[in-house]
Copies of this chain bind each other. A is one copy, B any other.
Amino acid sequence: MNSDFRKIPIAVIGLGLMGGSFARRLKELGHPVIGLNRTKKVAEEALAMGIVDSIDPKDLKKAEIVIFCTPERGTLSFIKEHLSLLHEKAVLTDIAGVKNGFAKEVAALLPEGMDFVSGHPMCGKEGAGLAQSDGAIFDGANYVLIPEPWNRKEHLELVKDMARELGCAHVPVVTAEDHDRAIAYTSDLTHVVATALMNSSSYSEKTKYFIGGSFRDETRVADINGKLWTSLFLSNKDKLLEEIDRFSASLSTLREAIAAGDEEEIIAFLEEAGRRRREMMHRGNS
């Protein structure tokens, strides 16, 4: 990354929790930030907070990178509406949680010279909205990039550089298929499991007297945006169903060992889980 990179103007579209977090961190890093939001009042708030420099669509022309923190439909309609306002060599990127075919839809809208490099920063936090945004969410996170065959190498490198500059520790590059399969396991399934734990028929008003760290941690994401996650689940449906079934098979293995009172098999199962957990966390993903 050359020293000029730090001065690239960047636009952030959608100033919710994630967009606000991008804007904050990019401003801290010294980038001019153009921030737009469908509800203009939110953009005005971001301007007043000093985390964006401009909320004028005319300034989009300056932005060499445009980050979409919007739902997929919102991204497509924004591009259609504002195409003539974008920098002629703008590199667009997004943060959508499911990738299946979306990059092709965006590419179809773009003129020669522009490019769309799909991304998925694996970070976030509880809550929603600009007020909850926090530049620190990027620190040490994984920022997955999902390029398409037609993406130009230098554009991929540009988004990689940005991800590292934001503070992310790892920038793995994978196919959309591999991304969606991995996410079905590490993100969709965990939200399914957390909500299924809360909705067990064993839950009662008295449960709160018996909870320790494990129940608290495993149900943290059960306080969920129901509509958003329903749409994420359904757009990755086949892979998610497969992950639920694989998890259920793993659960059954342990259940059978417990039912049989097979001490040795239970210990082996738990120790393998511990080994995998330590291996997974080894790269500083703590």
A interface with B by C-beta (< 8 Å)? 122-125, 141-142, 144, 170, 172, 174, 179, 182-183, 185-187, 189-203, 205-224, 226-227, 229-230, 233-234, 237, 240-241, 243-244, 246-251, 253-255, 258-259, 261, 263, 266-274, 276-283, 285-286
Contacts and interface: CB of A to CB of B under 8 A. Distances in A.
Contacts of A206: 172, 182
Contact of A200 (B187, B215, B250, B269): B250
Nearest to A228: B270
Given A198-B276, A205-B279, A219-B277, 6 more contacts: A182-B207, A187-B215, A195-B273, A195-B274, A217-B217, A223-B274
Contacts of A203: 185, 276, 280
Given A205-B279, A219-B277, A250-B200, A226 B270 contact: yes
B190 A197 contact: yes
- Tell me the interface secondary structure of chain A in the complex: helix
Contacts of A195: 254, 269-270, 273-274
Contacts of A243: 200, 202
A266 B218 contact: no
A210 B183 contact: yes
Q: How many copies does the complex hold?
A: 2
Nearest to A212: B122
A224 B254 CA distance: 14
Nearest to A202: B185
Nearest to A172: B209
Given A190-B218, A223-B278, A247-B197, A144 B263 contact: no
Nearest to A97: B212
A208 B205 CA distance: 36
A193 B222 CA distance: 15
A67 B222 CA distance: 36
A211 B263 contact: no
B214 A190 contact: yes
A142 B144 CA distance: 40
A122 B210 CA distance: 7
Nearest to A178: B206
A21 B282 CA distance: 27
A174 B280 CA distance: 39
Given A196-B254, A202-B243, A277-B219, A213 B266 contact: no
A273 B194 contact: yes
Given A263-B230, A273-B224, A277-B198, A218 B193 contact: yes
Given A226-B267, A261-B234, A211 B142 contact: yes
Given A210-B186, A214-B221, A255 B244 contact: yes
B255 A210 contact: no
